[in-house]
Amino acid sequence: MPLDPETFAALIDTVRRFVAERLRPLEEKVAEEDEVPEAIVREMREMGLFGLSIPEEFGGLGLTMAEEVRVALEFGRTTPAFRSVFGTNVGIGSQGLVMAGSDAQKARWLPGIASGETITSFCLTEPGAGSDGASVQTRAVLDGETYKLTGSKRFITNADKASLFTVMARTGGEGAKGVSAFLVPADLPGVRVGKPEKKMGQQGAHVCDVHFDEVPVPAANRLGEEGEGFKIAMRVLDRGRLHIAAVCVGICERLIADSVAYAVERRQFGKPLSDFQLIQAMIADSKTEAMAARALVFEAAALKDEGKPITLEAAAAKYFASEAVGRVADRAVQIFGGAGYIADYGIERLYRDVRLFRIYEGTSQIQQLVIARETIKAGG
């Protein structure tokens, strides 16, 4: 059930002020130190941000999809690293458990995830399996009441802080039907997390390799039945892609606002940049794309809340919004000119940050394939 309008308006107002007053002043510090201050993380916990999508019965806020994307959009107005702090708890790190977990699994794990005491990560990608998620080679072999889990995962967001991993591993033959999902506590013997990778952007949000060496995972920690892991992963990604699309919309709107403010203030040839029609054209194109992306996100979220499948709509929203934010960021650098290339203004940092959105939770090319497949399927 959605929150009552007054309560939700208060939540959005609180998030908006938190982003503007607490997070944006720290953007440069987080980028330089590659770490979000613990004080900020504590504030996020107190605000309930780790439990946005967790049902209220387990201590979360239980937001609808339409409400969640509104919050995600607000967090798009600052560096993506801040949203990443709680992003896996809200999305891919928890939703497999929410969607497919048993009552006992939910009771055990969801309250800690909602409070932020438990940080989650989603382990699908491997050195040899990225876009082709059905080809994972990490293997789980059943021995009595315990699976022995062995393999390596790559580029796992929040892995260095996670205390619970959702791991996709092969329990059967080749292909999607041989993949199962497991809840793997980080303190089990045989779990090893690598060092955070050095990245192009999104400093402060860490990704690491995770290695599993004969890790004893209780059979009670399997999500769903054997062979259902890939299906669970795809359902999780539908929701995650929509969330990411909303973040992209927020960043578009931030970049447009910054570009307009600069164009109005900056003068060339005796008049503001905003008076020049070619500058106006870039602003117009960016604004139009941001509005279109927002409409795609909100429409898909509404369908999700109606209980309808959104594989096509989520893919389309993520594809369009992530590509659009790249173009908007490029135009912002162009409008700022030399200043856009200088670190002090923050535009070049956002330009690097947004590049990742076209890659993770399904590349743009994967989204195109999904969109085409679902369209052809619907056409008979």
CB neighbours of residue 303 within 10 Å: 18
What is the rounded CA–CA span in Å between residue 243 and residue 310? 13
Placement of tokens 């994307």 in the chain: 69
Bridge pairing between strands 120-123 and 164-170: parallel
Residues 6+ apart with CB under 8 A from 7: none
Bridge pairing between strands 191-193 and 267-268: unpaired
What is the rounded CA–CA span in Å between residue 358 and residue 353? 11
Q: Are 243 and 72 in contact (CB under 8 A)?
A: yes
Q: Are 251 and 80 in contact (CB under 8 A)?
A: yes
Cα angle 342, 250, 252; round to 5? 50
What is the rounded CA–CA span in Å between residue 376 and residue 323? 23
- Return the active site residues: 361
What is the rounded CA–CA span in Å between residue 110 and residue 379? 40
SS3 222: strand
As a three-state string, the secondary structure of 331-364 is HHHHHHHHHHHCHHHCHHHHHHHHHHHHCCCCCH
Structure tokens at 141: 């072999």
